[in-house]
Chains A and B, each alone.
Chain A
Amino acid sequence: MSRAAGAINGFRGLPLLIALVSGASVGYEILLMRLFSIIQWHHFAYMIISLALLGYGVSGVFLGFCKGWLNARFERIFPGCILLFSLAAPGCFWIGQRLPFNPAELFWSPLQPLYLLTLYLLLSLPFFFAASAIGLTLFRFRGRVPAIYAADLAGAGLGCLAVIGLLLRLSPGQALIALSVINVAGLFLVSIVWKKAEWVWGASAAVLAFLWLAPSDWKTLHVSPYKELRQFLRIPGTRIIDSFSNPIAFTDVAESTVTPLRYAPGLSLGADREPPQQYAVFSDAGNMSALTRYNGDPATISYLDQTTSALPYHLNKPGHLLILGVGTGGDLLQAERFGVSSVDAVELNGQLIDYIKTRFDAFSGGTFTNARLRLHIGEARGFVAGTRQRFDLIQIALMDAFGASSAGLYALSENYLYTVEALQEYIRHLQPGGYLALTRWAKMPPRDALKLFATAAIALELSGIPEPGRQMILIRGWQTSTLLVKNGRVTMQDIGALKTFCEDRSFDIDYYPGVTEAETNRFNQLPESYYYQGALRILGPERESYLERYKFAIEPATDDRPYFFQFFKWTTLPEILSLYGQGGLSLLESGYIILAAGALQAVLAAALFIGLPMWLCRRRLGLPDYSTRLWRSIGYFFLLGNAFLFIEIAFIQKFILFLHHPVYSVTVVLCSFLVAASFGSAASRRLTDKRHGQFVPIAGIALLALCYILFFNHLTGVFLHQADSLKILVSVLLILPLGFAMGMPFPLGLQRVAQLSPGLIPWAWGVNGFASVISANFATLIAIHFGFNAVVLVAVGLYLTAVVCLPVIDSGGELTRKD
């Protein structure tokens, strides 16, 4: 063995490198999610990444086959894997962007599944290299498993933080290169202390130079030609004037100098005035909204009185308005049009607001800077929970694009704006006689509006209103619907104003207390008065059977199952498939299908790439003859991988409602869990020699997780109105003990396996990694159907099953008979 290898054997800098490569690998995963959300659509990001992480599993197989050969060349293979990861991370994404993969064509073209498969394989490569570096280290230094695993977890946790930091400063394309540069720079610095490792310095320096000088094309994103931004830019005279990004969104602002942009969704057919000059604003190359010129003359924006969302202004002129999700300010302009004297507006993307205030203040007529407005940067639900103000009108307008929404692309997005609990909260913040106004796309067949109607009815009932129908109004244009929920009964005067408003604008009344069917479905006719019929059934005794018989999932979303945009029902699938020739696939809620298909693919791939080679070559691989032990060990690591991620995913969601910021929550929860787990891993050494030591952390996990399910709202409720920094601190303190316990079972199991069958270590690594990959899909599926509490309960069950699976050693170090 060379002296260089001896230095590595001496652990000099090795944990640091493990942490670096682990952090880079997690960072790459997060970056890929962002990158694919921009160049394609985010639900495909789920699918592609779940399979790309197959690289973890395959690395286990690879190490299992070649462990002897690789181990003998550790001093070359280990740095080689790090270098290859650093090159493959941007390189494979660059190649992947060149594939003509088009998700929208997936159901039509036989070539598209092949492109998708190629993408999987390509993106698996970086993960394969990273996992091989870590897995080989675990195998070679099996006596130091807790320390290595601790470095792996700590690195992963810090990697989350680092990538969010990078995304605050750089565009996602630049961040990808930066991630690789940091990784190689780390290798270069550590290898300086290695002896006779000149080739590592040289190779690291060469890779660094290559990445530094990488062609700008490596940092350029090639957005799908079918995304809104690319479609817009095909119009003569259009160009992007500004682009900026943060961890929430990549924003492009574009102008159209030849053909004016005229963005006015849901405009009445009777409208004869077009919008003033507008700039297009794209989020992640889609979700177009418009920034509209305002010269102070309300007549120039009179078109905003021709939309369904203008209804509440005609029923009760609001003195104090709250806009949730202000975006580019369409609702602010509408408030200007109606002369509202006091407005609070909430927006998550502070960067967008700063940009508009700085660059477009004059253009937007000071809409974002006038004294009547108080802007709050943060998550909408969090603002409402934290304020004690009450409003005459709370507006939640369209925040998603029609195309993406109606194709079910948001099915996998958790959304806490439209849950039963959220609506209860909004209603609590209304002045007596005030309105909550929710505008959604009017899809065909109806989905959103009916789901929202059911949500509001239940929210009112839970708020102690015995007859919710007396406080609700639903209207519809050809493109949008608006639901009003009043804090008080709808009066005859309200109904009179409602009828005049709708008649003048050719909008349909779908529901008000006392409406008759003859009054509905007049201007924008559906084959039947679906909305009216649905509203009556939702308010009547047939609610349950109606929701069950409806072919889309329109049961209200809750905080535990926050999937408002998930409309898919398995029972409808055969009918939709039978309509293929009529283009019936447009009825398919593709987000859910992708998720289910991704889970199935992942399981099949696991069986094919991990299970099958393992089974066929078990003797050659030096796997133990005791098949029970083999399967129990594999089962242990498979269950652990799933359980760890299940808990992590479920608690990210729980903390989103406490921290009220998706980015903060993901970062704080993930980082705290992983860093705490790394401490747990390091501390697990103390339990190694204890005969039943593996039960201790599992008991801790089960107890803490169950406590959190039962008392989470009580524990966090006390701090709900406190400063963000205190809430982050409370979150970290709540996560630490759970994460600490969760860091122990893996190294304890690995050390047990090292004692029994060292040949199993690479397999354990691969199986655990792969399980943690498929768990993301399965956790979401469970959450959609049963809620996040169920995800935690399943995780506890998996942990308990895992601990039973772990092979046992008797007091003399021999296997017990049952093994």
Chain B
Amino acid sequence: MIYPTCVRTAILLFFFAGFARAETDAYARQRAAMVAEIEANMAQTAGLLGRKGLSAEVADALRTVPRHQFVEEEMQPYAYQNRPLPIGHGQTISQPYIVAVMTELLDAKPGDKVLEIGTGSAYQAAVLGAIGAEVFTIEIVEPLAAAAHERIAKLGLANIHTRTGDGYYGWPEAAPFDAVLVTAAASHIPPPLIKQLKPGGRMLIPVGDRFNVQQLVLVEKDPDQKVKTRQLLPVSFVPLTGTHQ
């Protein structure tokens, strides 16, 4: 049987639409599975991190943000695995569990202003944006910054503002911030960033190499402007066997 051209076209369109829908559904399912895995892990570490577990807001954000669109095409099959992925230029996109933990610890609320130093792929910024925070993110590696800017524009994430350059002096025009995330390696905590943190605000610094976060340093500024840090492990681990001493 020979179909007229318009019928063939309709069949093809229907097929591709179905394929696209199936693909979307498949990613959504993978995202849901990823969030379930994160929830299970967070249940174990909640006590150590001072949380009750993965909050509904962060879980929703992780279910919403299409992580596969933040990695290169060849990495997309692994996008929803609970592992870090290379994004080129010697940088990585963090393990989703770590993204979840960091987002929880930053405790950002809708409307909060968050500064991020080290945009990377902008996935972390997108998750914070999905919670409703207004995110100001700075990346020093130019090709990464350009790609992140383009990605954010394409996804229509209006509450994320990008900038290319040195993050040491923060974003004074938008300061003060409710939360600051410093994902770029730093030999010390830049004093200007502490100044741009609101009293009662939180700054988080993941410490480790590109593929493994060894500890999280949470800097808290109390209403009297005094600063203290808390050193947290993202894993449920105590260093001594036997009775918890």
Q: Which residues of A contact B (CB under 8 A)?
A: 102, 104-105, 108-109, 225-226, 230-231, 234-236, 258-260, 262-267, 269-274, 402-403, 406-407, 442-446, 478-479, 506, 522-528, 530, 533, 546, 549-552, 571, 575-576, 579, 581-587
Contacts and interface: CB of A to CB of B under 8 A. Distances in A.
B97 interface: yes
A586 B212 contact: yes
A522 B238 CA distance: 19
B90 interface: yes
B227 A551 contact: no
Contacts of B228: 269, 506, 522-525
B146 interface: no
9 contacts: A102-B86, A226-B210, A234-B90, A264-B187, A267-B188, A269-B228, A479-B188, A551-B237, A581-B40
Interface in B206-245: 207-215, 217, 219, 227-242, 245
B191 interface: yes
Given A271-B188, A444-B231, A530-B239, 10 more contacts: A234-B90, A269-B189, A403-B209, A407-B208, A407-B212, A523-B228, A582-B97, A584-B237, A586-B213, A586-B214
Given A524-B231, A525-B229, A226 B209 contact: yes
Contact of B227 (A108, A270, A445, A571): A270
B45 interface: yes
A231 B90 contact: yes
Contacts of B212: 104, 407, 583, 585-586
A487 to B, nearest CB: 31
Chain B contact patch, size range: 35 or more
Contact of B241 (A225, A234, A551, A584): A551
A511 B95 CA distance: 37
B236 A443 contact: no
Residue of B86, B187, B227 with most partner-chain A CB within 10 A: B187
Interface of B: 37, 40-41, 44-45, 48, 82-84, 86, 89-90, 95, 97-98, 140-142, 165-166, 168, 185, 187-191, 194, 207-215, 217, 219, 227-242, 245
A259 B229 contact: no
Given A230-B90, A262-B187, A549 B241 contact: yes
A271 B227 CA distance: 11
A265 B185 CA distance: 11
B229 A269 contact: yes
A773 B103 CA distance: 48
A231 B90 CA distance: 7
A578 B240 CA distance: 17
Given A265-B188, A269-B219, A581-B41, A524 B229 contact: yes
Contacts of B185: 231
A263 B187 contact: yes
Given A225-B90, A551-B240, A551-B241, A587 B191 contact: no
A259 B97 contact: no
Top-9 shortest CB links A-B = A225-B90, A267-B188, A586-B212, A445-B239, A444-B215, A582-B235, A104-B211, A259-B166, A584-B235
Given A259-B168, A406-B214, A583 B237 contact: no
B140 A274 contact: no
Contacts of B98: 583
A552 B163 CA distance: 42
A235 B168 CA distance: 13
B213 A583 contact: yes
Residue of A104, A549, A583, A586 with most partner-chain B CB within 10 A: A583
Contacts of A546: 240
Contacts of A581: 37, 40-41, 82, 97
A234 B91 CA distance: 10
Contacts of B219: 269
A477 to B, nearest CB: 9
Contacts of B84: 108
Contacts of A226: 90, 209-211
Contacts of B97: 581-583
Given A105-B211, A407-B212, A585-B212, A525 B231 contact: yes
Residue of A266, A446, A581 with most partner-chain B CB within 10 A: A581
Given A231-B185, A236-B140, A586-B213, A579 B237 contact: yes
B140 A575 contact: no
Nearest to B49: A527
A583 B209 contact: no
Nearest to B188: A267
Nearest to B81: A108
Nearest to A403: B209
Contacts of B211: 104-105, 108, 226
B206 to A, nearest CB: 10
A550 B239 contact: yes
Residue of A109, A527, A579 with most partner-chain B CB within 10 A: A527
Contacts of B142: 236
B229 A407 contact: no
Contact of B240 (A236, A266, A549): A549
A815 to B, nearest CB: 57
Nearest to A269: B227
A402 B214 CA distance: 11
Nearest to A546: B240
Nearest to A587: B237
A528 B190 CA distance: 27
Nearest to B98: A583
B62 to A, nearest CB: 15
Given A225-B89, A407-B209, A108 B83 contact: yes
A479 B189 CA distance: 10
A582 B235 CA distance: 5
A264 B187 CA distance: 6
A525 B230 contact: yes
A35 to B, nearest CB: 20
Contacts of B240: 546, 549-551
Nearest to A533: B245
A264 B90 CA distance: 23
Contacts of B241: 549-551, 571
B216 to A, nearest CB: 9
Given A231-B90, A234-B89, A259 B140 contact: yes
B235 A444 contact: no
B234 A583 contact: yes
Contacts of B239: 445-446, 530, 550-552
A530 B219 CA distance: 19
Contacts of B140: 234-236, 259
A328 B13 CA distance: 66
Contacts of A231: 90, 185
Nearest to B48: A527
A479 B231 CA distance: 10
A39 B189 CA distance: 29
A587 B235 contact: yes
Contacts of B215: 443-444
A230 to B, nearest CB: 6
A442 B214 CA distance: 12
A238 to B, nearest CB: 10
Nearest to B38: A581
A443 B217 CA distance: 11
B229 to A, nearest CB: 5
A402 B215 CA distance: 12
A269 B44 CA distance: 31
B22 to A, nearest CB: 25
B188 A262 contact: yes
A95 to B, nearest CB: 21
A543 B209 CA distance: 33
B187 A528 contact: no
A526 B231 contact: yes
A551 B239 CA distance: 5
Contacts of B233: 444-445, 527, 587
A40 B188 CA distance: 25
A546 B245 CA distance: 11
Contacts of B232: 444, 527
A523 B37 CA distance: 34
